[in-house]
């Protein structure tokens, strides 16, 4: 594993208790940084932080609740001391929603997917951007999906939500381009994590059939790219979309 330089830096990772969020936390810790895991499951986040070691802490937050996000920002800064700063935000929290045709899609489920996957990213970016803009350099990395570029059948809410994350990334990246904050996103194809538990076997098989490499991605592979995007080396790239799709997306 190449050691990236995140020494002395601090990242907040939403959905950090499991899956991609946890893998990203591991990689940033291995690169010399500290992490705060934001998750709505506090017990899982605390267990993950204990496993990760002394440089990881957990904060309970539902990213779909703007008041909870605002409070979590203050909690994060206060729990790590008066002089605490944050240098990177990784928006990883997300849900798939049901796999069903659009005409049959439950309205409440649609709203829930949008609340977590789109509104949650907006709330976190909105609350953290003023702080990040005070740093010598800072990074925001949003986890989108190849579904946001191509659209997956029977996954209209998920596909639409990830397309929105891509557009939000491009917009915010341009807004902040003249300052110290770089904003980018990654668009993985399917990655084998617990999120598969939210999908039907048929949908999982469909996703695998679209990947030329003939396999799913691994959390470590996604974490490697995200970690680089969090470093100072990612200096002249903002508002960009990085594919991690095993050859599925080539544009």
Q: What is the pLDDT of residues 19-51, one digit of tens each?
A: 999 999 999 999 999 999 999 999 999 999 999
| Candidates 22, 123, 158, 251; catalytic one | 158
- Global pTM reads 0.94
User: pLDDT tens digits, residue range 208-224?
Assistant: 888 899 888 899 999 99
The domain segmentation of the chain, as residue ranges, is 10-242
**pLDDT higher than threshold 80 for residue 250:** no
Would you call 158 a catalytic residue per the annotation?
A: yes
Tokens read off for 248: 């599925």
Share of the chain above pLDDT 90, in %: 82
Residue that wins the pLDDT comparison between 67 and 249:
67
What local confidence, expressed as pLDDT, does residue 43 receive?
Answer: 98
The CATH fold assigned to 10-242 is: Rossmann fold (3.40.50)
Q: Average pLDDT, stretch 217-240?
A: 96
**Nearest-angstrom CA–CA distance, 159 and 117:** 10
Contacts of residue 91, defined as CB under 8 A and 6 or more positions apart, other chains included, come to 14, 63, 120, 121, 124, 125, 140, 141, 142, 143, 165
- How large is the angle between the packed helices 107-114 and 156-175, nearest 10 degrees? 30
φ, ψ for residue 195, nearest 5 deg? -65, -20
């Amino acid at each position: 594993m190449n050691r990236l330089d995140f020494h002395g830096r601090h990242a907040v990772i939403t959905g950090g208790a499991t899956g991609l969020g946890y893998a990203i936390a591991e990689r940033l810790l291995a690169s010399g940084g500290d992490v705060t895991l934001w998750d709505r499951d506090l017990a899982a986040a605390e267990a993950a932080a204990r496993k990760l070691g002394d440089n990881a802490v957990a904060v309970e937050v539902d990213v779909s609740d703007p008041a909870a996000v605002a409070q979590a920002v203050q909690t994060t800064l206060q729990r790590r001391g008066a002089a605490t700063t944050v240098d990177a935000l990784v928006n990883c929290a997300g849900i798939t929603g049901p796999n069903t045709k659009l005409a049959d899609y439950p309205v409440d489920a649609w709203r829930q997917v949008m609340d977590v996957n789109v509104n949650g990213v907006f709330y976190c970016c909105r609350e953290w951007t003023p702080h990040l803009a005070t740093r010598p350099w800072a990074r925001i990395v949003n986890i989108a999906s190849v579904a946001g570029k191509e659209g997956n059948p029977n996954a209209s809410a998920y596909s639409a939500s990830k397309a929105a994350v891509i557009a939000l990334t491009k917009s915010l990246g341009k807004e902040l381009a003249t300052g110290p904050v770089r904003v980018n996103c990654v668009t993985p194809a399917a990655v084998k994590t617990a999120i598969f538990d939210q999908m039907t076997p048929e949908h999982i098989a469909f996703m695998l059939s679209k990947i030329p490499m003939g396999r799913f991605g691994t959390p470590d592979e996604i974490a490697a790219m995200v970690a680089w995007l969090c470093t100072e080396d990612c200096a002249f790239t903002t508002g960009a979309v990085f594919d991690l799709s095993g050859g599925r997306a080539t544009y």
